[in-house]
Chain A
Amino acid sequence: MTTDHRLSKFDPLSRILFFDDFDEGINGWCELLGNHDNNLDNIKPRTRDPRPAQLSTCSFFDIGTHGSVDGIYALKLATRPRVNHMAQLIKRMTYVKRGLVQMETYFTYKAETVFDSSIQTPRQWDGNYHPVESMFGEFTISNDVNDGPRGSRHHCVLRYVNTDREGNLVRKWMYKTSLQVTTRMQLQGTPVPEDWHTVNPDDWEEVPGGHFALCHNEVPTKINWHYLRWVFDTETRRNVELQVNDRIMDLRDIPVPVYDDTYHGCDRLLNFIFDVRTYMPVRNFLFLDSVLVSVDW
Chain B
Amino acid sequence: MLRRSHTAVLEKNEVFTENFETEPYETGWACEAIWFVRVLEATPGTKLVAHAQVSPDGLFWCDKGDAPLSLEGEGLVHLPLRDFGGWLRLRCELKGERPSAKVLIYLFLKE
Residues in A lying within 8 Å of B, measured CB to CB = 25-26, 31, 33, 40-41, 43, 48-49, 51-57, 59-61, 72-73, 76, 78, 80, 112-113, 115
Asked if A40 and B12 make an inter-chain contact with CB atoms under 8 angstroms apart, the answer reads yes
Report Cα–Cα, A53/B25, bound state, in Å.
9
Q: Which residues of B contact A25 (CB under 8 A)?
A: 4
User: Beyond the given A55-B28, A113-B59, could you list 4 further A-B residue pairs with CB under 8 A, ordered by the A residue number?
Assistant: A55-B29, A59-B58, A112-B59, A115-B59
Is B26 a contact partner of A61 (Cβ separation < 8 A)? no
**Cross-chain contact A54 with B25 (CB below 8 angstroms):** yes
Report the interface size class on chain B: 20 to 34
> Using a CB–CB distance below 8 Å, which chain B residues touch chain A?
4, 6, 8-10, 12-13, 23-26, 28-29, 56-60, 86, 104
Distance (whole angstroms) from the CB of A226 to the closest CB of chain B: 21
Q: In the bound complex, what is the Cα–Cα distance between A80 and B58 (angstroms)? A: 13
CB-based nearest B residue for A31: B9
21 A-B pairs (CB sep. < 8 Å)? A25-B4, A26-B6, A31-B9, A33-B12, A40-B12, A41-B13, A43-B12, A48-B12, A52-B8, A52-B10, A54-B25, A55-B26, A57-B28, A57-B86, A59-B57, A59-B86, A61-B56, A73-B29, A78-B24, A112-B59, A113-B59
The smallest C-beta distance from A257 to any residue of chain B, in angstroms, reads 29
Chain A residues near B26 (CB, 8 Å)? 54-57, 76
Q: How far is the CA of A49 from the CA of B4 in the complex (A)?
A: 25
The residue from B9, B10, B23, B57 contacting A61, defined by CB atoms under 8 A apart = B57
CB distance from A288 to the nearest CB of B (A): 14
CB distance from A281 to the nearest CB of B (A): 13
B20 to chain A, nearest CB (A): 12
B residues near A115, Cβ cutoff 8 Å: 59
Q: Which of A48, A55, A78 contacts B23 (CB 8 A)?
A: A78
- In Å, the complex CA distance between A276 and B6 comes to 22
A49 touches B12 (CB 8 A): yes
Residue of chain A at shortest CB distance from B23: A80
CA distance A25 to B60 in the complex (A): 26
Residues from chain A with Cβ under 8 Å of B8 in the complex: 52-54
Q: CA separation between A247 and B75, bound complex, in Å?
A: 55
A45 to chain B, nearest CB (A): 12
A48 and B13 CA atoms in complex are apart in Å by: 10
A54: nearest chain-B partner, CB-CB: B26
Q: Name the distance in Å between B76's Cβ and chain A's nearest Cβ.
A: 15
Q: Which residues of A have CB within 8 Å of B25?
A: 52, 54
Contacts of A33 in B (CB 8 A): 12
Q: Which residues of A contact B4 (CB under 8 A)?
A: 25
Rounded to whole angstroms, the CA-CA distance of A53 and B7 in the bound complex is 10
A78: B residues at CB distance < 8 A: 23-24
Complex contacts, B86 vs chain A, CB 8 Å = 57, 59
Assess whether B9 is in contact with A52, with CB atoms less than 8 Å apart: yes
Which residues of chain A come closer than 8 Å to B56, judged between CB atoms? 61
A49 and B58 alpha carbons, distance in the complex (Å): 20
A59 to B10, CA, bound (A): 21
Chain B residues with CB under 8 A of A112: 58-59
Contacts of B24 in A (CB 8 A): 78
Known: A41-B13, A52-B9. A61 touches B59 (CB 8 A): yes
Inside 8 A of B58's CB, which chain A residues have their CB?
59, 112
Least Cβ distance of A71 to chain B in Å? 11
Question: In whole Å, how far is B85's beta carbon from the nearest beta carbon of chain A?
Answer: 10
Taking CB atoms, residues of chain A closer than 8 Å to B23 are 51, 78, 80
CB distance from A139 to the nearest CB of B (A): 18
